[in-house]
């Protein structure tokens, strides 16, 4: 069944750049072994294709990388947080034993998350966002936005973020974009440090096709997926971004105060009044 995990081939993926992540991976593996299961431990840059369930150990970046790799393989991903925020993770280090117990008891749901892609620029796939910037950090870029081949606006800005609802609480939020529930399917377009007060974020239907072009003032554009995979794009090339047919699968534990709005309040201190 699509809503049940297959625990036949579990991969525990750890970020080698995070101190102590390997030890946490070994500890997590031992808990599964006590329950008769035999996961394998792999580094985040050496993912295992023969996997039915992936556990990410690190920060949100580690989970995003795992999600981009495993989403096309239809493999669910579960996050254990060792980073600062861990917005996408479901357990901290002191909660691992309880989390494994809940997974084994089936106390979870598999949530499908929309992804976006740019097929004409290296086949980029992103769970959070695609970011387009000029090739020079010392000057702004003039970028042109069209939706469904209709011109929307010109931006004089440091760049443009095209985000999923999942990514709306990441870079998009820092750039002044709205928070969008992951239950929605929508695209969020946010200019980065625009030089006009009328340049505001846009939220459009997920089925719309986005095209971004530039002028001849810069020779290259930089485009990145989830802040990790980066490619150079010729300035005269049309960058096309759209909803992907691939969905990421995130494993969400069925526990108290684990809904989207509760996590917003806990991890981002959303709507929490400052203490006197």
- Report, as residue numbers or ranges, the catalytic residues: 60
**DSSP secondary structure letters along 94-132:** GGHHHHHHHHHHT-EEEEEEEEEEETTTT-EEESSEEEE
User: Between β-strands 77-81 and 53-58, what pairing exists: parallel, antiparallel or unpaired?
Assistant: parallel
* CA nearest neighbour of 64 among 125, 119, 110: 125
* CA nearest neighbour of 161 among 221, 98, 223, 87: 223
CA dihedral 61, 71, 177, 276 (to 10 degrees): -50
Rounded Cα distance, 181 and 167, in Å: 10
CA dihedral 183, 186, 189, 190 (to 10 degrees): -20
The continuous run of DSSP H or E covering 151 comes out as strand 150-157
Q: Are 214 and 150 in contact (CB under 8 A)?
A: no
């Amino acid at each position: 069944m699509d809503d049940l995990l297959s625990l036949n081939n579990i991969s525990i993926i750890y970020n080698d750049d995070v101190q102590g992540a390997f030890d946490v991976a070994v500890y997590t593996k031992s808990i599964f072994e006590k329950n008769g299961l035999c996961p394998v431990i792999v580094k985040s840059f050496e993912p295992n294709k023969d996997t039915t369930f992936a556990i990410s150990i690190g920060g949100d970046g580690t989970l995003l990388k795992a999600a981009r790799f495993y989403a096309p393989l239809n493999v669910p991903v579960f996050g254990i947080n060792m980073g600062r925020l861990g917005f996408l993770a479901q357990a901290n280090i002191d909660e691992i034993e309880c989390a494994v117990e809940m997974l084994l008891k089936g106390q979870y749901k598999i949530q499908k998350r929309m992804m976006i892609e740019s097929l004409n620029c290296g086949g980029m796939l992103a769970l959070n966002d695609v970011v387009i910037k000029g090739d020079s950090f010392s000057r702004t870029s003039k970028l042109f936005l069209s939706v469904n081949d209709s011109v929307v606006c010109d931006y004089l800005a440091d760049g443009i973020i095209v985000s999923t609802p999942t990514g709306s609480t990441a870079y998009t939020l820092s750039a002044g974009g709205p928070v969008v529930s992951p239950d929605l399917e929508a695209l969020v377009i946010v200019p980065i440090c625009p030089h006009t007060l009328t340049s505001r974020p846009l939220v459009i239907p997920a089925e719309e096709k986005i095209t971004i072009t530039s002028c001849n003032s810069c020779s290259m554009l930089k485009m990145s997926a989830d802040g990790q995979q980066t490619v150079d794009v010729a300035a005269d090339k049309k960058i096309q971004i759209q909803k992907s047919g691939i969905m990421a699968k995130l494993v969400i534990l069925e526990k108290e105060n684990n809904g989207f709005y509760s996590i917003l309040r806990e991890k981002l201190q959303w709507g929490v009044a400052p203490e006197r």
